A and B are shown apart, each in its own frame.
Chain A
Amino acid sequence: MSPLHEDLPRAAERRGVSRRDFLQFCSLMVTTLALPTRYMDKVVHALSQTRRPVLVWLEFQDCAGNTESMIRSSHPPVAEVVLNLLSWEYHETIMAGAGKQAEATLERVVKEEKGKYIAVVEGSIPTADDGVYCTIAGRTALDIAREVCTNAAANIAVGACAWDGGLVRANPNPTGAIGLQEAVPGVKVVNLGGCPHNVANTAAVIVHYLTFHEMPALDQYNRPLFAYGQLIHDQCERRAHYDAGRFVEEWGDEGSRKGWCLYKMGCKGPEATYNCPSVRWNDGTGWPVKAGHGCIACAAYRFWDWSSPFYKRLPKVPGFGVDVTAEDIGWGVVGTVAGVTAVHAVGSVIRSRKSKLEGPKAGGAGEESKPASPKA
């Protein structure tokens, strides 16, 4: 039997994933997907029956951060299971093959597994100057994405760059970078925004697909609701300090040491939706706000442009310098109106004195003639 179509549990066992690890992984996936525990059996059953699905991982304009996030996840042994669960045929950063051999593999997958493999895309796709800013084996990223993603059974865009263009697309976007969905319209994409993606979510999407043969419920950006349906603010462990009105006002101040709310330090928790506080990072031990830094809304749409500056409450006002806040402009408007009003009041007093001296008729003397009978 071709290793491509090995049974999943056998393959896992052969690679040293114990039954215990496997069940642990399944329970983690069930909780991440917010499924009731009775689905545990179903997930285990489905994954045990499944033949290893083929997966190709395309990297375009990226920092390989999502790959790093994937392979460095350790406990629960997500990476271990996920790497063994799927038949990873192509992944530039971790594959052994190189050059023509590697490209031949991708070609073979697209041809032989047409409509059956899962394509994961990491990184943005440049469109300016015919996409010359990212070429692999002489082909542009756009060209590769079109071919691979249109023939895939499912597409998953991991990380901010593959979703909406991310950092690469941030102003001024010299390469004309866009996300997968915009670059290849028409294909079904599940977007897993975040900088980087959380591997538990990505694994959960794949598990959901293998178990139920469809993608999980998605929001308006085609992001799975189980991961992006909730406000970070509502799940935050510092929320009690927010409601109480206890805020960090300076890095290292009393509030900072006591773990108070980071709202005044520009935390974007009230804006951003993600399951960061519950799934967490680094073996589930922490996440940015727990570590004492505000959220930067990395899973929000085009967050580099629209959620920055990261240490201020409100974004930069378009058309003004970076130092000018909406509040400055607002006070400027109020001050200007107050000043003009004061000057006008003085002018009105002078006018009133003058017309009193000149008599009641003087004001009308300069009037031009008007039609005596305006239209009704």
Chain B
Amino acid sequence: MNAAARSVAQTAVPVPAEKIVRVYVWQWPVRIVHWVIFLSIGVLSFTGYYLYDPFIISRGHGAFLMGTVRFIHEVSGFVFLAAFLVRAYWFFKGNRWARWRQFLLIGREQWRGALNMLRYYLFLRREPESRVGHNPLAGATYTVVYTLVVIEILTGLALFNHALHSSVLGFFIGWLPWLISVQYLREIHFFVMFIFWAFFIHHIYSAWLMGIEERSGLVGSIFSGYKVLPADFVAADPASRRAKGFPVVGPGWAYRRLRRKATAEKKASAVSASMPQTKSSD
């Protein structure tokens, strides 16, 4: 986070009305994947917990409860896998806020942002480290979450193939039961579910908290894709400097103004002056 953005954040309330723009941050694949993952984790958790401890005992003839629950679990597992694969593709094809770089703590700026965000959460700092996309700490957290997603997918496929005995699937996943015995694969698969639940609590809370702090329509953005942010703040976002054009959708004058700023920025072309000229050195 640079000084310009911080100063914007500090004076963000109230922001002069003419500087506000709508930014298309979360593209539709990101939003769809988000909600598919949310729904599939919900279904997988419920059915998965039932597979661990079948708390409903069925009665009478013709029951097929466990079989049905397993079927739902397996189908939603593949939906989950498909959603992850789409997201993995979008790490490389998506817009600047969907790209892989957003999720890794590369460079001093990202690290400082993550530390500042941590200090914010620990009440050691008043201002959160806001970004147009994910803040650095959130990005790093999602890397952990995606790692857990991969762990769930791998252990899940290995357990699935333990019953399926498919040579094709075995070719891809057969190495895993070699490394970790099936019972421990089950245990890992089960335990990671609780971490997802814990993450879910934190995720809802932090989205709500940041939405209030930033007044950016953060919670709504995962439905609509748009955030409402000051134009300067968008222009000063580290991700914006790396991108070619501005994906700003809003009043035409705001867009033109941003383009002018970007052109001026290129002309300045000093390494240290890689941000808009206004407000850059307070």
Contact = CB atoms under 8 A, between A and B. Distances in A.
B197 interface: yes
B281 A372 contact: yes
A337 B182 CA distance: 29
B241 A247 contact: no
Interface in B173-212: 178, 181-184, 186-187, 190-191, 193-195, 197-199, 201-202, 205, 209, 212
A120 to B, nearest CB: 27
Nearest to A243: B67
Contact of A244 (B64, B190, B238): B64
A306 interface: yes
Given A220-B178, A243-B64, A326 B191 contact: yes
Contact of A373 (B126, B178, B274): B274
Contacts of B17: none
Given A330-B191, A351-B123, A376-B238, A245 B163 contact: no
Contacts of A331: 194
B163 A361 contact: no
B241 to A, nearest CB: 5
Contacts of A16: none
A99 interface: no
B127 interface: yes
Interface residues of B, number: 63
Contact of A334 (B107, B108, B112, B201): B201
Contacts of B126: 351, 355, 362-364, 366
B35 to A, nearest CB: 22
Nearest to A313: B52
Say which size band chain A's interface belongs to: 35 or more
24 contacts: A231-B163, A244-B65, A244-B66, A245-B65, A246-B58, A247-B54, A301-B181, A314-B186, A330-B195, A330-B197, A331-B194, A333-B194, A333-B195, A336-B198, A337-B201, A337-B202, A338-B201, A345-B205, A348-B209, A360-B10, A366-B126, A372-B2, A374-B108, A376-B238
Given A300-B182, A376-B238, 15 more contacts: A231-B162, A245-B54, A245-B57, A263-B54, A313-B186, A326-B190, A330-B191, A330-B194, A341-B205, A370-B6, A373-B2, A374-B112, A374-B238, A375-B271, A376-B274
Interface of B: 1-3, 6, 10-11, 13, 52-54, 56-59, 63-67, 69, 107-109, 112, 121, 123, 125-127, 162-163, 165, 178, 181-184, 186-187, 190-191, 193-195, 197-199, 201-202, 205, 209, 212, 238, 241-242, 271-275, 280-282
Nearest first, the 5 closest Cβ-Cβ pairs linking A and B are: A330-B194, A363-B126, A245-B65, A245-B58, A337-B198
